[in-house]
Amino acid sequence: MARQKILVVDDDENTCELIRMQLDMAGFDPVCARDGREAVTAAKEHRPALMILDLVLPELDGIDVFREVRRNTNVPVIMVTARSDEFDRVLGLEMGADDYVTKPFSLRELMARVKAVLRRSNATPAPGEQQILNLPGLYVNLLSREVRVNEKRVELTPKEFDLLWHLARHRDRVFTREELLKQVWDYEEFFGDERTVDQHVKRLRRKVQEEEGAPCRITTIWGVGYKFELSSTAK
């Protein structure tokens, strides 16, 4: 079986080499890029299964690299930020990054996140598993990854889609952030900030429920988590 190619983008040579060696030992095929322009070229040439993207880069910063790469592909992206750069982490998640890690990070943490993101992106429905949700005003197709709200197509990132599918399939059930990290992000253990969930919920709400007459809503249950429910007009 061909090894999955992973693009590592970091201007620090030692960091690139450490990640490359760890990915290689884990059975992946790593490729390194040392600046933003090289990263964009490498993404087009190699079509990686996943990209690990440092946000602080010469030539072209990580946010611009992300925008450029996402014009042509939905490759999963794990962003790497400095621990103090909360603005960059939030911006990255709002733009549609699948995950982030903060420096300094352990290689064990990074490998866990890589494997979790790839498991989700490579997942296929099991035989007999429900593949279409056709609710009043909301259509979600697991195979085509299509979402329509009141017959209008809505574009979601891969993680936004996964979150909507999971919540809508279990409507009216309350999920804690920890449960969503395990069931949607597929983390066997979580090393980071549970606000990752909050940012994705915020972005998902903006896309599926803020228009007048929206058929559904994701409700915050304070002190617990979130639940998906149909609006009263859609029931």
Contact between 46 and 7 under an 8 Å Cβ cutoff? The reply is yes
Contact between 159 and 96 under an 8 Å Cβ cutoff? The reply is yes
pTM of the model: 0.71
Confidence label for 149 from pLDDT (cuts 50, 70 and 90): very high
pLDDT beyond 60 at 235:
no
Query: What local confidence, expressed as pLDDT, does residue 29 receive?
Result: 95
Alpha-carbon distance of 235 to 230, in angstroms, equals 6
Confidence label for 199 from pLDDT (cuts 50, 70 and 90): confident
> What is the rounded average pLDDT of the residues 115-122?
82
CA 189 to chain CA mean position, Å? 17
pLDDT beyond 80 at 20:
yes
Instruction: List residues bridging with 79 in a β-sheet.
Output: 53, 100
Query: What percent of the chain shows pLDDT beyond 90?
Result: 43
> What is the rounded average pLDDT of the residues 164-170?
94
Structure tokens at 95: 């733009």
Query: What local confidence, expressed as pLDDT, does residue 193 receive?
Result: 58
pLDDT digits (tens, 9 = 90+) for 182-198: 888 776 655 555 677 88
Domain ranges of the chain: 5-122, 132-230
Fold agreement (5-122, 132-230):
no
Query: What local confidence, expressed as pLDDT, does residue 8 receive?
Result: 97
Please state which of the ranges 11-15, 80-84, 124-128 shows the lowest mean pLDDT: 124-128
pLDDT digits (tens, 9 = 90+) for 204-214: 998 998 777 78
Transcribe 35-103 into DSSP letters: SHHHHHHHHHHH--SEEEEES--SSS-HHHHHHHHHTT----EEEEEETT-HHHHHHHHHHT-SEEEEE
More confident residue, 224 or 235: 224
- Specify the fold of 5-122: Rossmann fold (3.40.50)
CB atoms within 10 A of CB 138: 24
CATH dotted code for 132-230: 1.10.10.10
Return phi, psi of residue 226, to 5°: -135, 155
pLDDT beyond 90 at 140:
yes
